[in-house]
Amino acid sequence: MTFDIVCLGELLIDFVATATGPLRDAPGFVKAAGGAPANVAVAAARLGRTAAFLGAVGQDEFGNFLRDQLESNRVDVRGLCLLRRGSTPLAFVSLKENAERDFLFHWRDTADHLVKPRDIPCELAGDCRIFHYGSISLIHPAMRAVTRRALQAARKSRSVFVSCDPNLRLNLWRSPEQARKTIMKTIESAHLVKINDEELGFLTGKKNLRRGMRALAGITDAAILVTRGPAGAAYRWGKSEGEVAGFAVSAIDSTGAGDGFVAGFLSRLLETRGSLRGLQPEAETLARWVLYANAVGALATTKRGAIPAFPFASDVEAFLTPETQRGRQPQPNRAV
């Protein structure tokens, strides 16, 4: 079977605070499945794409819960290893008034730090149209080896389109310098890079959006997507660049919004027939894809948690009415 998308990386339990405010003041937490690449897999599956996940969790109650969550969302889990050595990683998430969040990770001696490439069928990364991963799987040597093996399989196929979301979490890295160096090296080999505006500034040192995108384009030929929260997103692919406004929604929790955006964009990209490598979409097409991705990301903020909040294709279609799109008609900028 050839999948539409195979995602590799972290899968964990998000304990999301039940009230807004600092973590120490949280009266309780709601358990939810999370992890950026797993989020993308589920969001893509809910949008009607065939998806598989590669990663490792503990052979414990939380690990079994996460496997069940993926399976119930029609994500293929043959690449998910439930390891007897090591536990399932956890993250406690506090929500701010603006729906942004802070994370406290419990990620020491977990299964993904003890896994070996032979434990995961990395060859699945070469049996898909899009292989998607992030930078967190590059932090620890164990998962870094798995990621490299999967990337080798994807590149060997000569047809798999590689998508990367750095998903920067500085408190998990040894130093900002290590994070920047590793992420920039990873970006070089991707066909598409999705980052947010803060990550763009961190990686390039440019505060201006357009200058940052052009600085990033100076080191990679990859298509570039920059999410900007409620402001929407900007894109640059070949000679086409532009910005698309976001949607005003009653945001509760922004966890997973960027992952929903990625899944939304990739689901539109997958409508293209044939190999996605070397593709040069028209600016108007890119802008429509970004508009759709913005809608998926916005809807993902209207519920607590990541995976529980992702919309189905029918939800997005119902949301994208002429009224919600009024004033947000994609306006591609001039060619660069």
pLDDT in tens, 161-214: 999 998 888 888 889 999 999 888 888 889 999 999 999 999 999 989 999 999
Tell me what pLDDT residue 307 has.
85
- Average pLDDT of the segment spanning 96-100: 59
Angle in degrees, CA 120, 59, 39, rounded to 5: 65
Characterize 297-311 residue by residue with b for buried, 16 or more Cβ atoms within 10 angstroms of its Cβ, and e for exposed: bbbbbbbbbbbbbbb
pLDDT digits (tens, 9 = 90+) for 39-95: 999 999 999 999 999 999 999 999 999 999 999 999 999 999 999 999 999 989 887
Who has greater pLDDT, 106 or 4? 4
Q: What tokens does 111 get? A: 């299964």
Residues 6+ apart with CB under 8 A from 53: 6, 7, 8, 11, 37, 38, 41, 70, 75, 76, 77, 79, 80
Question: What gap in Å lies between CA 35 and CA 25, rounded to an integer?
Answer: 24
Q: Where do the domains of the chain lie, and which CATH numbers do they carry?
A: 3-328 (3.40.1190.20)
Does the predicted model carry a pTM greater than 0.85? yes
Task: Return the SS3 of 154.
Answer: helix
Q: Is the pLDDT of residue 226 over 80?
A: yes
